[in-house]
Amino acid sequence: MPGPIVVLGSANLDFVVRTPARPGPGETVFGSAFTTVPGGKGLNQAIAARRAGGAVCMCGAVGMDAWGEVLRDTLRADGVDVSTLATVPGDSGTAHITVQGSGENSIIVVPGANASVTTLSAPAAELIAGAAALVMQFELPQSVLLEAAAHARRHGVRTVLTPAPVLDPVPGLLDLIDIVVLNEHEVTRLSGLPDIEDATRALSGSRTVITTLGADGCLLAAHGEIVRRFAAPAVATVDSTGAGDTFVGVCVARLVAGDPLPRAIEWATVGAGISVTRAGATSSMPTWAEITAVGLT
């Protein structure tokens, strides 16, 4: 039996407003709906991986507020192990999301308790040492990401990073990552190159890079070359929130289950395609049964 998928990442409560168009500077517009949905890139990826059949443990922190219990209970309800999810003084993380009529979104994240995770706890280190994969994002301080990635490398554990929100990585971090999954904006920002294919190649010198392209699918690169372009299923987008996290969660779950990377990516595109047809982040993520019901073309 492989070890669990360990997600070291953020847990936020998402405050989601739907509106026909985002307001400009100084402008007020009417929204059509408001919801609160558990989210955060770490929590999202943990739930997506769990629903795709993975055994998942969540490492991070929530605050001593009502939202913290909501986030913890949300993970538990999907069967994610929260024994290493700390509760710290102060507020839990929040994300403030505006979804336009087209389904495109813009997001402001307030880190809250997530900012307290600056070093790796002993229980988290023990979990990572026996993990099948370590999954991380940029919504926690990079000091703990670097420490965790180095710890995973020493124990031969595969590392997966989503560098979002896009920031300059601390020196040495990317060298410890096996698979980087990012979007068009993130790959051009990190590489400094305007062309998406050139940017993807440039980042893939010593690691595998997957660049997601929304409705245009994704690119897979390794050793400085584009290996394959994957098509996305044709769907009517309702809300793209959480689609990238669904992609990562499904992809990692299928890798740990033994699928080769190209097949895992194919399943991940199906999962992400389902998620954009539904509103919200965790609320949109499909189960493995739903993904296989759609199937691969």
DSSP H or E segment with residue 291: helix 288-294
Is the pLDDT assigned to residue 76 strictly greater than 80?
Answer: yes
100: in domain:
no
Range with the poorest average pLDDT among 32-41, 52-61, 125-134, 195-204: 32-41
Query: 162-216, pLDDT tens digit by residue?
Result: 999 899 999 999 999 999 999 999 999 999 999 999 999 999 988 999 999 998 9
Q: What is the pLDDT of residue 296?
A: 86
Whether 53 is covered by a domain: the verdict is: yes
Whole-number Å distance between alpha carbons of 210 and 218:
7
CATH number for the domain that contains residue 162: 3.40.1190.20
In a domain, 183, yes or no: yes
In this structure, is residue 180 part of a structural domain? yes
Instruction: Flag whether 284 is marked binding.
Output: yes
User: What average pLDDT does the chain have?
Assistant: 94
What is residue 229's predicted lDDT score, i.e. its pLDDT? Answer: 97
**pLDDT for position 101:** 79
Tell me what pLDDT residue 97 has.
Answer: 85
pLDDT, greater one: 241 or 265: 265
252 in any annotated domain: yes
pLDDT of residue 117 exceeding 90:
yes
| 297 has a pLDDT exceeding 80 | no
Say yes or no to pLDDT of 244 above 70.
Answer: yes
Find out whether 245 is annotated in a ligand binding site: yes
Q: What mean pLDDT do residues 148-161 have?
A: 98
Per-residue model confidence (pLDDT) at position 288: 97
In a domain? residue 94: no
CA separation for the pair 229, 211 (Å, rounded):
10
Model pLDDT, residue 106: 82
List beta partners, residue 99: 18, 105
Question: For position 1, what pLDDT does the model report?
Answer: 67
Would you say residue 234 has pLDDT above 90? no
Residue 215 annotated as binding site: yes
Q: Which residue has the tokens 């409560």?
A: 13
Positions annotated as catalytic residues are 245
Tell me whether residue 139 is annotated as binding. Answer: yes
Assess if residue 145 is contained within a domain: yes
What local confidence, expressed as pLDDT, does residue 2 receive?
Answer: 77
Which element (helix H / strand E) includes 49?
A: helix 41-51
Flag whether 160 is in a domain: yes
Query: Confidence band (pLDDT; 50, 70, 90) for 108?
Result: confident
Domain with 185 in it? 41-59+115-294
Number of domains in the chain: 1
C-beta separation of 254 from 3 below 8 A: no
Q: Identify the helix (H) or strand (E) that includes residue 96.
A: strand 93-99
Q: Report the distance separating Cα 187 and Cα 173, nearest Å.
A: 16
